Structure 1
Amino acid sequence: MAQKAVKFLKKYLVDDQDRLLRTAYSDENRQNVFQISKPILAFSDDYAFLIQALLDLYEADFDESHLKWAEKLQNDMDEHFFDKEHSVGYFNSRDSDSTVFARLQEDQDGAEPCANSVASNNLLRLSDIFGDKEYRKKAGDIFNGKVMVF
């Protein structure tokens, strides 16, 4: 079922520019389906939780395509959400989102883990898998830094 879910996500929740989307899917053959005129791009928590799921699935089935997609998504997340100026974590919103007045970062978990918690664990896992010290350093920066709000 998890493998089918990954195929579904790749088919319906990735746009033609290979960007992850945040949206609800509804069967396009049904009548009276609400259509969003402009797709909503995914937030940092969407990336973090999907990367975590792909790493978990890779550990279960050893299908390297899951690992490769997790790495690609992590690189996208780093590019569009990481606080490059302060190196302390991930913003909730994408760098190109002009609708956001202030980009926020969550520094603690609530009922669900925040994107920074999940992402730091993902970075450690990816570092172990690929032997990439940059992933480990970025996780350490998140652990050691104080999340900023701008």
Structure 2
Amino acid sequence: MFDSDPSSKPISAKLPKAVIMMIEKSNLVMAIKTLAADENISMEAAKIRIDAYETGLKVKQQQKLSTIANKQGIPSQAISFDREPVADSSEHLIKDRVKTTPSEQNFKGLQDGVDSQFNDLGYKKPLLPYWAKRLLVIAIIMAGIFWILWRVFS
């Protein structure tokens, strides 16, 4: 029928690409402001539309995850956005163990792996590391040059 208010525009269900990109980058405040300015709607209406888009996006992601899980034989109850992440049960106190951060644990695991590979190959670590040998050689050369200059100029 006839619209009595010519200034009101019909609200499009689809969001502009710029707003969608802002939502995907989690820049929700800017997305709401941009949508409200582009379509001359209130901030509340823009927020409602963006929230609806987000929930639709989450539903699509959940459906994709569940189809992938079903193809791999994982029960769909194992994958859920609603639940809290399960706490790691390895928080038991173990005597003589220092708790480290995950990055330190990863590095420690890498070191252990490299050491086990060297042990498998029969490689033995040198008594002095390569850098210590270099420093020792440099110190001996400097001492020799100092002794020679001392003998020449004294």
State the structure with bigger RCO (CA 8 A, min sep 6), 1 or 2.
Answer: 1
Q: Please, what TM-score do these two structures have when normalized by structure 1?
A: 0.24
Of structures 1 and 2, the larger Rg is shown by: 2
Q: Please, what TM-score do these two structures have when normalized by structure 2?
A: 0.24
